[in-house]
Amino acid sequence: MKVQTIPAVGSRVRVVTRHKEIFYWADKPYREYQYEGDVVPSNKWDQAGSFKLFTGNPDWPDSVIHLDNVHDIEYIKGGPGKAVNSSTKTWTVSGSRGDKYIVSQNGTKWSCTCSGFQFRRQCKHVKEKQDA
């Protein structure tokens, strides 16, 4: 199931995400995680096409979940919110040490999953895509 709509703020959801497995000996090509919680307003620096979930877990109370990773979503309370803008573009780029990052553009808003962008709101990965 490919989710195209961000859940409305205030909704309570159960989400299953899938992420590519990095270990070749794993029995599945992906890792699956399940979250349950309330959808809360995203931060302005959160990546386009994602939503923030308050899980109440004392060790990690908030999770930012990107729609590209959502495999299934169940609405416990509330429902879908805004549709994802189809003009959102994403690229997977390699860092200088071989790490993979996701660069997104939604209109004039750019974001990157690297730590440099998270702290400084700018990075070389975004600059490379803007200059391309």
Token pair in block for residue 72: 């299934």
Q: Which residues contact 55 (CB under 8 A, 6 or more apart)?
A: 35, 36, 37, 61, 62, 63
Domain that holds residue 72: 5-83
Q: Which residues in the chain show pLDDT less than 70?
A: 1-4, 82-88
pLDDT at res. 86:
53
- Is 83 in contact with 102 (CB distance < 8 Å)? no
Is the domain of 123 the same as that of 76? no
pTM value > 0.75: no
Query: Do 68 and 53 belong to one domain?
Result: yes
Question: Are 103 and 52 part of one and the same domain?
Answer: no
> What local confidence, expressed as pLDDT, does residue 2 receive?
52
- Examine the fold and report which residue of 65, 83, 101 is the final residue of a domain before the chain moves on: 83
Same domain for 100 and 69: no
CB-based burial label for 27 (10 Å; 0-12, 13-18, 19+): exposed
Residues 76 and 93 in one domain: no
16 plus 76 within the same structural domain: yes
Q: Mark whether 97 and 62 lie in a shared domain.
A: no
Residue type at position 69 = N
d(CA 102, CA 130): 14
Same domain, 28 and 45: yes
Q: Are residues 38 and 101 in the same domain?
A: no
> pLDDT value at position 54?
93
Asked whether residue 78 falls in the same domain as residue 26, the answer is yes
Tens-place pLDDT, residues 94-116: 888 888 888 888 777 788 888 88
Number of domains making up the chain: 2
